[in-house]
Amino acid sequence: MSLRILVVGEAQNGRLAGSTLEAIGKARALAGPDGVVGFLAGPHPEALADFAQHGVATVWSASDPRLDEVPVGAISPFVMGVAESVHPDLILLGGTTFGRDMAGHLGARGHAPVATGVTEITRVEGGLRVRRPIFGGRATETRRLEGNRAVVALRPHAFPAPAPAPVSPEVRPVATGDIPPRWLAPKRTGVDAPSAGAGPGLADATIVVSGGRGVRTADNFHLVEELAASLGAAVGASRAVTDAGWRPPSLQVGQTGRTVSPQLYVAVGISGAIQHLVGMVSSRVIVAINSDASAPIFKVADVGVVGDLFQIVPALTREIRKTRGLA
């Protein structure tokens, strides 16, 4: 019996978010192209078309523009409505802020087991088996999601974006007339897009370059930022840096900051205290640059340079720019 999967999508800048594409790719691998349908809230015709571009023909579209501005709880009833006609075995989402919130709603509403940050899904007798990192990536658990339906949000960047596989789209409109007033009362009053030229945000980035106390002053931190720019990377910071006010707390990677799991994490002048490690230790490749050979970061790094970062980092930035043919 083949699986039926409902992918709840998310639009970003009018197109389907990268995390949704990853979910589509995984859904098609699990259920075959005919086993996947999509859902999208908000008026985003290009994002809607992206579903069909990647092999998902049937998409349920709740195109009411109000849905772009409401809390997730206003949208979940419409997803559940679709689920009641489609009877998916699995509702799959990207692991974004929206994806995890929606997963929580759908699991609670539909009395279905939920797993987020998932890196592997397989079918088993009686349900699905998932693997996911826990404890900041220091361990992995395998869970069985039992029953007729499960809700899963994938870990961002854990699955590849699918190759385009265009099919003819079939859009099914979802009526959204009645939205209870309590969902319309909260208002989004503004959005600060991540500043242009500052590189990708930490959450999304495939490469992160972080600076720590070894950088010594706020002014020196530009060395870290230049290295990041040369790699097209996001910039992160240790708690010492944000505590000292050299950079804002939104850049902090660590136990009380963000957890990131990019393909490459470069730690510059970071000693590797456990509070920082839990925020980045599940990165695929870790490079450490530090003048102290006994710094704990070298225990978790894959490759290390013990030396003066004030010499090494600019040299590295130059070498990368040269290799990439940048000015």
Partner 1 sequence: MEIVVCVKPVPDPETRLRASPDGSALDTEGVKFMLAGYDESAVEQALLLKESVPGSKVHAVSFGPAPRTEEVLRAAIALGCDQATWVEAPAGAPGDPMVAARALADVIGKLPHDLVLCGKQAGDEESGVVAAALGELLQIPDFGCVLSPRWDAAQNLLTFRRATESGEEAWVAPLPCVVGLQQAWNDPRTAKLPAILKSRKAPIAHASAAPEAGDHSVGERFELPPPRTGAKLIEFKTPEEAATKLVRYLREEAKVFP
Name the segment binding partner 1 (CB under 8 A); options: 43-51, 57-65, 161-169, 319-327: 319-327
Name the segment binding partner 1 (CB under 8 A); options: 22-30, 40-48, 144-152, 161-169: 144-152
Answer for the pair 57, 169: CB distance below 8 angstroms, yes or no: yes
Comparing CB distances to partner 1, the nearer of 141 and 170 is 141
The Cα 285–Cα 301 span in angstroms is: 7
| The length of the chain, given as a count of residues | 327
Total residues contacting partner 1 by CB under 8 A comes to 110
Comparing CB distances to partner 1, the nearer of 166 and 222 is 222
Q: Find the binder of partner 1 among 48, 72, 171, 260 (CB under 8 A).
A: 72
Strand 285-290 and strand 58-62: the pairing is unpaired
Give me the residue label for tokens 């000015």: 327
The Cα 176–Cα 112 span in angstroms is: 24
By CB under 8 A, what part of segment 221-250 binds partner 1? 231-232, 239, 242-243, 249-250
122 touches partner 1 (CB under 8 A): no
Comparing CB distances to partner 1, the nearer of 222 and 284 is 284
Q: Write the DSSP string, 143-165.
A: EEEESS-EEEEEPTTSSPPPPP-
By CB under 8 A, what part of segment 26-65 binds partner 1? none
By CB under 8 A, what part of segment 75-104 binds partner 1? 76, 96-98, 100-104
Shortest distance (Å) from residue 86 CB to partner 1: 18
Query: What is the distance of C-alpha 226 from the center of its chain?
Result: 24
By CB under 8 A, what part of segment 275-304 binds partner 1? 275, 278, 284-288, 293, 297-304
Any residues with CB less than 8 A from the CB of 311 and at least 6 apart, and which? none
Shortest distance (Å) from residue 159 CB to partner 1: 16
Shortest distance (Å) from residue 178 CB to partner 1: 15
Give me the residue label for tokens 């990536």: 137
Answer for the pair 278, 259: CB distance below 8 angstroms, yes or no: yes
194 touches partner 1 (CB under 8 A): yes
Comparing CB distances to partner 1, the nearer of 173 and 186 is 186
Helix H or strand E segment including 129: strand 127-134
7 touches partner 1 (CB under 8 A): no
138 touches partner 1 (CB under 8 A): yes
The Cα 263–Cα 206 span in angstroms is: 5
Shortest distance (Å) from residue 248 CB to partner 1: 11
Comparing CB distances to partner 1, the nearer of 134 and 218 is 134
By CB under 8 A, what part of segment 154-183 binds partner 1? 182-183
CA-wise closest residue to 211 among 196, 226, 198, 221: 221
320 touches partner 1 (CB under 8 A): yes
CA-wise closest residue to 136 among 228, 306, 253, 298: 253
Comparing CB distances to partner 1, the nearer of 175 and 293 is 293
The Cα 308–Cα 310 span in angstroms is: 5
Shortest distance (Å) from residue 34 CB to partner 1: 26
Strand 120-124 and strand 127-134: the pairing is antiparallel
| Type of residue found at 276 | H
The Cα 137–Cα 280 span in angstroms is: 8
Comparing CB distances to partner 1, the nearer of 85 and 315 is 315
326 touches partner 1 (CB under 8 A): no
Comparing CB distances to partner 1, the nearer of 222 and 299 is 299
